[in-house]
Amino acid sequence: MFATRWEPLAEMNRLRNEMDRLFGRWGRLEPRPLASTGYPPLNLWEDDDHLYVEAELPGFDMEGLEIYVTGGRQLALRGERRSPELKGGTWHRQERAFGSFSRTLELPSSVDSDRVSAEFRHGVLTVTLPKSEEVKPRRIEVKADST
Amino acid sequence: MTTTTMTKSQAGEVAGAENTFQATFMPRFDIWETEEELLLYGDLPGVSPDSLDIRFENKELTIHGRVGPRHEGIEFLYGEYGVGDFHRSFAIGESIDSERISAELHQGVLTLHLPKSERAKPRRITVQGA
């Protein structure tokens, strides 16, 4: 059996960790949370040409993940994680979640749906969404007056 | 806790900028026990097999997964979770055959087998008839 002893320090750490998870650690950057935070939590960032969406999805396989872009402005993620089927024993701890999820996200700028790509590495999904031409920042050439 | 990975600044050295700071998170674990073993599953997204450190000593199991900063210098438009190392330790009351501990890491999920040592396994006692 597990020695179940009360570890106040561990509890405090856990609380702190949970707080970190909830509020992140970018106090300086003040990330704006989405209107409703669902599963999975997402991080979203951009550069001039792309939007990037990242999610931690340990134990999901790429085949079981569905990624849709609708109208160039909406990203939907769907997936399922099944619990292992075990027999002849008992659970001491069950903290991990199983089942299916579906999450939809309004993108902050419009993207080229045909060129969206996704990578799944060590349980982290990264979706790369190229911005559509019309929303890309464009450098305006200033013509010098030649005369 | 046996290991802490806080980078300690040398005496006199000015502590680095915020970019050296990384939070550490507690990974979620499931633990299943059979007569033969303890089986642990842990969610460690972003941890590669080379950056995972598992120790078992003094009946304490410690799991530390390093997660390199993935977003240095990036400002998030939406930021809903933090990225950092994973750390967790468990006190194991059972006696474990530490030589036969095995671990696998697939798609961010750790599967850890802790086989019970022979003397810890339940033994059926034969009752002699009169």
Q: What does the pLDDT read at residue A29?
A: 41
Q: Is A24 within 8 Å of chain B by CB?
A: yes
A25 versus B126: the higher-pLDDT residue is B126
Is residue A60 within 8 Å of residue A123, measured between CB atoms? yes
Q: What does the pLDDT read at residue A105?
A: 92
Structural domain boundaries, residue A126: 37-82+98-136
Q: Is A8 within 8 Å of chain B by CB?
A: no
Helix (H), strand (E), coil (C) string for B12-77: CCCCCCHHHCCCEECCCEEEEECCCEEEEEEECCCCCHHHEEEEEECCEEEEEECCCCCCCCCCCC
Judge if ipTM > 0.95: no
Structural domains of chain B ordered from first start: 25-68+81-120 (2.60.40.790)
Is residue B43 within 8 Å of residue A123, measured between CB atoms? yes
Q: Which of A51, A25, A24 is nearest to B80 (CA)?
A: A24
Question: Are B76 and A56 in contact (CB < 8 Å)?
Answer: no
Q: Which residues in chain B are contacts of A42 at CB distance < 8 A?
A: 78, 80-81
Q: Is A54 within 8 Å of chain B by CB?
A: yes
Which residue of A29, A31, A94 is in closest CB contact with B30? Answer: A94
Residue B17: is its pLDDT beyond 80? no
B70 versus A7: the higher-pLDDT residue is B70
pLDDT digits (tens, 9 = 90+) for A33-60: 444 568 899 999 999 899 999 999 999 9
Mean pLDDT by 10 residues, chain A (147 residues): 55 63 49 61 93 95 88 93 91 93 92 93 95 82 77
Question: Are B108 and A17 in contact (CB < 8 Å)?
Answer: no
Which CATH number characterizes residue A71's domain?
Answer: 2.60.40.790
Size of interface A-B (CB pairs under 8 A): 153
Q: What does the pLDDT read at residue B30?
A: 96
Is A120 within the bounds of a domain? yes
Tokens of A35: 């209107």
Question: Are A20 and B84 in contact (CB < 8 Å)?
Answer: yes
B99 versus B21: the higher-pLDDT residue is B99
Residue B33: is its pLDDT beyond 70? yes
Distance from CA of A14 to the nearest CA of B (A): 7
Tokens of B98: 């530490």
Q: What does the pLDDT read at residue B3?
A: 37
Distance from CA of A49 to the nearest CA of B (A): 14
Is A112 within the bounds of a domain? yes
Total domain count, chain A:
1
Is A104 within the bounds of a domain? yes
Q: Which residues in chain A are contacts of B26 at CB distance < 8 A?
A: 13-14, 17-18
Write the CB contacts of A6 (distance below 8 Å, at least 6 apart in sequence): none
